Chains A and B, each alone.
Chain A
Amino acid sequence: MNLETYINEFSKYVINILMILYTIECFCVFLHKDEEKRKGVYIRQNIFMFAFHFCSFMVICFETGKVSYLLFYAIQQIILYMAVVLYKWLYPKTNRLIVNNMCMLMSISFVFLTRLDYSKAVKQFMIGSTSLVVALIIPFFIRNMKLLKNLKWIYAIAGIFLLGLVYILGTTTYGSKISYSIGGLSFQPAEFVKLIFVFFVASALYKSHTLSEVLFSAIIAAAHVGIQVLNKDLGSALIFFIIYLLMVYVATKNVIYLALGISAGCGAAVFAYHFFTHIQVRVQAFIDPWSVIDSTGYQITQSLFAISSAGLWGLGLYQGTPNTIPFVEDDFIFSAITEEMGIIFGICLLLVCISTFIMIMSISSKLGDSFYQLIAFGLGVCYIFQVFLTVGGGTKFIPLTGVTLPMVSYGGSSILTTLVMFAIIEGLYMIREDEALKARKRHEERMRKKKERLRKEKERRKKLKEQNRIKNVYDDNDDVYAFEDDVPIENNITDNEYVYSEYDENTSQDYISDPVEDDITITDDLDLMEYSTIYYNEDEHEKEIRRKKETQKKI
């Protein structure tokens, strides 16, 4: 018996199957609308995730023969477990799919960084776990800081300042200025500026979106993009552009802005192509990397070699040669993962990212407050577009831009930013839950009042009837009906009340048919969502009516 041979041969299937199961669960989440009902899914996800992590590290230990890796595994395991538990404990109302995906992606990252470069894996792990702790407080801040809405000038200045600083002080690595060092630690400010930028666009456009507001934000956005082009960091320039474009589209609901933005973007791209040789080089390496395989096409062709040698189930951990790709831990980690774990695993990884994205978008669309909605949307786009750029670039689907795969690639700034990003989204998710809860409470309050009113009305009518009967002036049935018709409920209540009753009529049916009518703690996503929308619409409606009344009074 030669155990190693068998482990070599079969471990990849086991790891692949665990990944497939995990991915399936990612989408099973969407089958249940109730976070409570999703519990089972989340627990299964945790099991698959830890099993994947365990199996992978077993293989690593077997292949390398280093037992010290087991210790590293154990510490990782503790941190990841703590992340899952702490989020649940500190914020019982968080969305656990995002937490799980975050941990899954991190464990994939740790496995592959250990396989590619142990020292980098340790460094990444240190930064990752510190960032996790930092990120833990963020949902609390997001939930309780209403101030964030009014800081648009600070966001704009901070963003441009940080990027400009890179332009002035940054060190040039391989043609682009992306980082500067403070006290031995190297930072990539563009990563953080992405978050600040999302906050900027949201704060600039959430209240109103007149042409002047859009123009103002467009100028600031163009400044971000422009500095990044000068820094030769095309990837993040593109990310800023897309975030801005799509956020404007969602804020204004106006397709014309989208069309204008796309045509402006295309114009700028053509312009940039003619004036910047490094862009021409990139495009050339995309169109025909084989002709420049010695120079600018080397990276992409090595990446293509890695992906094409994978096959469906991969070569198995340590069976491939992903280290032939330059910067494999940063920009090409997807190719390395695919080579050794297979195309199926690679596609599953993409699906995990997509499920995270869909969840963020669903949170965003259900948020009542447009500021928070825009933030969630912007961060979601920022996340998925990064994934698209790095995976598409590494597989020659689009030209290479040199972006990291969030959570998975090596890079301290990247992992910190992504963890903060997810934490913000968790905070927004809680805000949404709060909104929904508030809406439901108000709704119930109204229901109670309405019932009260109806009860009083009934009593009053009963009394009237009684009185009529006692008087016994007419003993004709017709007149009793006539009497009821003559006293329409509407006439007896104020306009304001009328509005309430109208809304109640609309929703009371659904609501009453809801079996969990009185259970406030139940957080059914869709129903709560409905209430929150009603609540917001109603609020506006009330205000309008009040305004009308006031104007009438004045007249």
Chain B
Amino acid sequence: MNMKKRSEEKKKHKRKFNLQIFIVTCFFVLLFGAMSVYIVNYSITHKIELISNSYNTRAKVLAKKNIRGSIYADDGQVLVSSYIDESGAEVRDYKFGKLFAHVVGYSVNGRMGIEDRYNYYLINTNAPVTVKAAKDQKKEKYPADDVYTTLNVDLQKVASDSLGVYRGAIIVTEPATGKVLAMVSKPDFDPATIADNWDSYLEDTESGVLVNRATQGLYPAGSTFKILTSIEYIKENPENYDQYRYNCTGSFSKGEDKIQCYHGSVHGSLDFKSSFAKSCNSSFANIGMTINKDKFGETLEEMLFNTELPTDDFDCSVSRLDVSDDTSDSDMMQIAIGQGPVSISVMHLNMITCAIANNGLLMKPYVVERIANCEGKNIKTYKSEKYGNIMGEDDAAILRNMMESVVSDGTGRRLKTDKYYAAGKTGSAEYGSVKGESHAWFTGYAGMIDGKEKQSPDICITIIVEGAGAGGEYAVPIAKRLFDAYYGVEMEEQ
């Protein structure tokens, strides 16, 4: 009895702290720990986002202290730089005028493009202290950091020239890395005079000069959408998709709805591959009737429809298309050939093509490779990043085979050459109410031929020419010029 009492007392004495006070202390310590983590995390992750806010005066302070950084092309050519003129004002010098208007953007009257996305780096400086001291001595601004892009001046020129006076957009990327080599949107503008022409651009709602059509434009996909219909068909019939047969009589009817082939062509007896190569609407409407709508809806989600595209460097419009069991047959016939409620951005189609070219693996598109200080020392580098497999490797191989047949004996025959191999899909997307008006599409890729072996694709091109007509006639020649330029092939006589 005594012993027990004694040991209890002993325990009491050993407890040197008050439990309740201890709990409260721990609570506050943990609370402050959580708050510290939050503060560190918030301030670091929101650093770039918040400096761009127009209510944040710090950007203006930085702009007063530092001279805005330059933007470089992939070969080190200066695309944009700033200098101080005689009156002491800072002038932004766009060396290539309109050429990089949309992708590089502007930095007055708001911002756009790389000038916007990388504004934080373009106004901050990591110049060495010796440089700063020298500049202070001369009472000059510090040089801010520079942005090095993946853009290729030659390809950009070819793309812009080829598009000519047409409205439209072109994206050239590297499927294996996601690098954007060229990005053109027309009509374009001169970033140097944007402030002067601002009001007229705003008034002109019809042409949408300031819209980057490559990323922001949403178009009916037209026959290029047959890629997606095909993916679904292959997925559902992995064993016997090549046993598909169809006899095209120029149109396909179900109930009151009728789908016609482009310009009333009659394709005759077709299998799956030739339906694709010849872009037969009737055959694809027929295929569209056989596929499972719910599963097709799922496939489309996997293919990034109705979701934000994983593009950190660009603000892309979200492609819209909902397919489910509720979708009517009439709509389904239209969807299968890329008409009706299908809207897709040029960037999105380019990404799907890239994934096909890259064995189903999608790399995130990016345009800025690194940030460096005024002496070229790297501050930050951006590596090519995987997004993930959006389709199976086998499916991608089958699709490549089909896209090559488009060039070998389909709508893309103009791309045939022995210098390299090309593949792709053309499209003529009807728009508006007037029958026959259509956007010319091409999306495809090209690679080197080593003996008889086809190397993995090097570049991927997506083109849309607004209101031009058939893709095979208007978009394919542009692709040809771009491929030729990329592989250094002399322009053949046209």
- Where the two chains meet, the residues of A that have a C-beta atom closer than 8 Å to any C-beta of B are 1-2, 4-6, 9-10, 246, 249-250, 253, 293, 298, 301-302, 304-305, 307-311, 320-321, 324, 338, 343, 346-347, 350, 353-354, 357-358, 361, 364-366, 373, 377, 381, 384-385, 388, 391-392, 395-397, 502-503, 505-507, 526, 529-530, 533-534, 537
A-B contact pairs, 26 of them (CB 8 A): A1-B133, A5-B133, A250-B20, A250-B21, A253-B20, A293-B53, A302-B55, A304-B42, A307-B42, A308-B50, A308-B51, A309-B51, A320-B58, A321-B61, A338-B39, A338-B43, A343-B39, A350-B36, A364-B18, A365-B22, A381-B24, A388-B31, A391-B35, A530-B13, A533-B12, A537-B12
B17 interface hit (Cβ, 8 Å): yes
Residues of chain B from 147 to 195 with CB closer than 8 A to chain A in the complex: none
- Chain B neighbourhood of A2, CB < 8 A: 133-134, 136-137
- Chain A neighbourhood of B38, CB < 8 A: 395, 397
Q: Is the CB of A357 within 8 A of B16?
A: no
- What per-residue 1/0 map shows which CB atoms of B3-21 lie under 8 Å from chain A? 0001001101100111111
Q: Is the CB of A506 within 8 A of B6?
A: yes
Q: How far apart sit A234 and B39, CA to CA, in the bound complex (Å)? A: 23
- Chain B neighbourhood of A533, CB < 8 A: 12-13, 16
The smallest beta-carbon distance between A458 and chain B, in angstroms, is: 23
Q: How far apart sit A293 and B53, CA to CA, in the bound complex (Å)? A: 10
Nearest B-chain residue to A370, judged by Cβ: B18
Q: Is the CB of B35 within 8 A of A392?
A: yes
The smallest beta-carbon distance between B380 and chain A, in angstroms, is: 14
B198 interface hit (Cβ, 8 Å): no
Q: Is the CB of A357 within 8 A of B35?
A: no
Quick one: which of A4, A304, A320, A338 contacts B46, CB cutoff 8 A? A304
B243 interface hit (Cβ, 8 Å): no
- Chain A neighbourhood of B20, CB < 8 A: 249-250, 253
Residues of chain B from 289 to 309 with CB closer than 8 A to chain A in the complex: none
Evaluate whether A506 and B9 lie within 8 angstroms (CB atoms) in the complex, with A321-B57, A391-B35, A395-B42 already known: yes
Nearest B-chain residue to A527, judged by Cβ: B16
Nearest B-chain residue to A374, judged by Cβ: B21
Interface centre among A5, A249, A324, A353 (most CB of B within 10 A): A5
Evaluate whether A350 and B35 lie within 8 angstroms (CB atoms) in the complex, with A250-B18, A302-B55, A308-B46 already known: yes
- Chain B neighbourhood of A507, CB < 8 A: 13
8 smallest A-B Cβ distances: which pairs? A365-B18, A5-B133, A308-B50, A361-B25, A2-B133, A305-B56, A250-B20, A365-B21
- Chain B neighbourhood of A309, CB < 8 A: 47, 50-51, 56, 58
- Where the two chains meet, the residues of B that have a C-beta atom closer than 8 Å to any C-beta of A are 2, 6, 9-10, 12-13, 16-22, 24-25, 28-29, 31-32, 35-36, 38-40, 42-44, 46-47, 49-51, 53, 55-58, 61, 129, 132-134, 136-137
Q: How far apart sit A36 and B181, CA to CA, in the bound complex (Å)? A: 70
Q: Is the CB of A249 within 8 A of B24?
A: yes
Q: How far apart sit A354 and B16, CA to CA, in the bound complex (Å)? A: 21
Q: Is the CB of A361 within 8 A of B24?
A: yes
- Chain B neighbourhood of A5, CB < 8 A: 129, 132-133, 136
Quick one: which of B31, B42, B134, B136 contacts A308, CB cutoff 8 A? B42
- Chain B neighbourhood of A377, CB < 8 A: 21, 24
The smallest beta-carbon distance between B431 and chain A, in angstroms, is: 36
Q: Is the CB of A307 within 8 A of B39?
A: yes
Q: How far apart sit A394 and B44, CA to CA, in the bound complex (Å)? A: 16
Q: Is the CB of A347 within 8 A of B21?
A: no
The smallest beta-carbon distance between B135 and chain A, in angstroms, is: 8
Q: Is the CB of A397 within 8 A of B35?
A: yes
- Chain A neighbourhood of B35, CB < 8 A: 350, 388, 391-392, 395, 397
Q: How far apart sit A302 and B12, CA to CA, in the bound complex (Å)? A: 53
Q: Is the CB of B12 within 8 A of A250?
A: no
Evaluate whether A307 and B29 lie within 8 angstroms (CB atoms) in the complex, with A381-B24, A397-B38, A534-B13 already known: no
Q: Is the CB of B32 within 8 A of A350?
A: yes
Q: How far apart sit A1 and B25, CA to CA, in the bound complex (Å)? A: 52
Q: Is the CB of A6 within 8 A of B51?
A: no
Nearest A-chain residue to B60, judged by Cβ: A321
Q: How far apart sit A364 and B36, CA to CA, in the bound complex (Å)? A: 26
Q: Is the CB of B46 within 8 A of A361?
A: no
Q: How far apart sit A6 and B132, CA to CA, in the bound complex (Å)? A: 9
Q: How far apart sit A308 and B42, CA to CA, in the bound complex (Å)? A: 7
Q: How far apart sit A298 and B133, CA to CA, in the bound complex (Å)? A: 36
The smallest beta-carbon distance between B56 and chain A, in angstroms, is: 4
Q: Is the CB of B24 within 8 A of A246?
A: yes
Q: How far apart sit A507 and B21, CA to CA, in the bound complex (Å)? A: 25
Q: How far apart sit A385 and B31, CA to CA, in the bound complex (Å)? A: 10
The smallest beta-carbon distance between B349 and chain A, in angstroms, is: 33
The smallest beta-carbon distance between B20 and chain A, in angstroms, is: 4
Evaluate whether A310 and B43 lie within 8 angstroms (CB atoms) in the complex, with A9-B132, A361-B24, A507-B13 already known: yes
- Chain B neighbourhood of A4, CB < 8 A: 136
- Chain A neighbourhood of B129, CB < 8 A: 5-6, 9-10
Q: Is the CB of B25 within 8 A of A357?
A: yes
Nearest A-chain residue to B15, judged by Cβ: A533
- Chain A neighbourhood of B56, CB < 8 A: 305, 309
Evaluate whether A343 and B40 lie within 8 angstroms (CB atoms) in the complex, with A381-B24, A395-B35 already known: yes
Evaluate whether A305 and B50 lie within 8 angstroms (CB atoms) in the complex, with A249-B24, A343-B39, A534-B13 already known: yes
- Chain B neighbourhood of A502, CB < 8 A: 2, 6, 9
- Chain B neighbourhood of A364, CB < 8 A: 18, 21
Nearest A-chain residue to B28, judged by Cβ: A384
Q: How far apart sit A1 and B58, CA to CA, in the bound complex (Å)? A: 28
- Chain B neighbourhood of A381, CB < 8 A: 24, 28
Q: How far apart sit A298 and B28, CA to CA, in the bound complex (Å)? A: 29
- Chain A neighbourhood of B47, CB < 8 A: 308-309, 311
Beyond the given pairs A5-B129, A301-B53, A309-B47, 20 more chain A to chain B contacts, judged by CB atoms under 8 angstroms and listed by A's residue number, are: A2-B134, A2-B137, A249-B20, A304-B50, A305-B50, A305-B53, A308-B43, A343-B39, A343-B40, A347-B39, A358-B25, A365-B18, A381-B24, A384-B32, A391-B35, A396-B42, A397-B38, A502-B2, A537-B9, A537-B13
Q: How far apart sit A302 and B110, CA to CA, in the bound complex (Å)? A: 20
Quick one: which of A250, A253, A302, A354 contacts B32, CB cutoff 8 A? A354
- Chain A neighbourhood of B132, CB < 8 A: 5, 9
The smallest beta-carbon distance between A293 and chain B, in angstroms, is: 5
Q: How far apart sit A244 and B61, CA to CA, in the bound complex (Å)? A: 46
Q: Is the CB of A293 within 8 A of B55?
A: yes
- Chain B neighbourhood of A298, CB < 8 A: 55
Q: How far apart sit A388 and B28, CA to CA, in the bound complex (Å)? A: 9
Q: How far apart sit A533 and B17, CA to CA, in the bound complex (Å)? A: 10
The smallest beta-carbon distance between A383 and chain B, in angstroms, is: 10
Nearest B-chain residue to A323, judged by Cβ: B57
Q: Is the CB of B39 within 8 A of A305?
A: no
Q: How far apart sit A505 and B2, CA to CA, in the bound complex (Å)? A: 13
Nearest A-chain residue to B54, judged by Cβ: A293
Nearest A-chain residue to B7, judged by Cβ: A506
Q: How far apart sit A391 and B31, CA to CA, in the bound complex (Å)? A: 12
Q: How far apart sit A373 and B21, CA to CA, in the bound complex (Å)? A: 10
- Chain B neighbourhood of A365, CB < 8 A: 17-18, 21-22
- Chain A neighbourhood of B40, CB < 8 A: 343, 347
Q: How far apart sit A293 and B29, CA to CA, in the bound complex (Å)? A: 32
- Chain B neighbourhood of A397, CB < 8 A: 35, 38-39
Q: How far apart sit A395 and B47, CA to CA, in the bound complex (Å)? A: 13
The smallest beta-carbon distance between B379 and chain A, in angstroms, is: 13
Q: How far apart sit A396 and B39, CA to CA, in the bound complex (Å)? A: 9
- Chain B neighbourhood of A350, CB < 8 A: 32, 35-36
- Chain A neighbourhood of B12, CB < 8 A: 533, 537
The smallest beta-carbon distance between A449 and chain B, in angstroms, is: 20
Q: Is the CB of A529 within 8 A of B16?
A: yes
- Chain A neighbourhood of B55, CB < 8 A: 293, 298, 301-302, 305
- Chain B neighbourhood of A530, CB < 8 A: 13, 16
Nearest A-chain residue to B130, judged by Cβ: A5
Q: Is the CB of A361 within 8 A of B51?
A: no
Q: How far apart sit A507 and B13, CA to CA, in the bound complex (Å)? A: 9
Q: How far apart sit A357 and B36, CA to CA, in the bound complex (Å)? A: 16
Nearest A-chain residue to B36, judged by Cβ: A347
